[in-house]
Amino acid sequence: MSEGDAEGELAWQTDALCAQTDPEAFFPEKGGSTRDAKRVCEACPVSGKCLDYAMANDEKFGIWGGLSERERRRLRRRGR
């Protein structure tokens, strides 16, 4: 993939509400609360694209598209 393709693939990030908030909320310490991050995701216009990106790229950490890694693993097992 060329750099231009990568930029196009991530263009949705410019509309992501998380880009305007504290990034630490999306990468909580083990056992930390994900509630605030998920609340931002619920209102985000690109949360679906975010989740698609996380699933396609096997993101291991953080809240992506409103789901934690554990929730994304379950979704993957169900054959999303």
Residue stretches of the annotated binding site: 18, 41, 44, 50
Residue of 44, 9, 11, 7 lying closest to 25 (CA atoms)? 44
Binding residues for [4Fe-4S] cluster: 18, 41, 44, 50
Contact (CB, 8 A) for 12 and 50: yes
Calpha distance 8→1 (Å, rounded) = 11
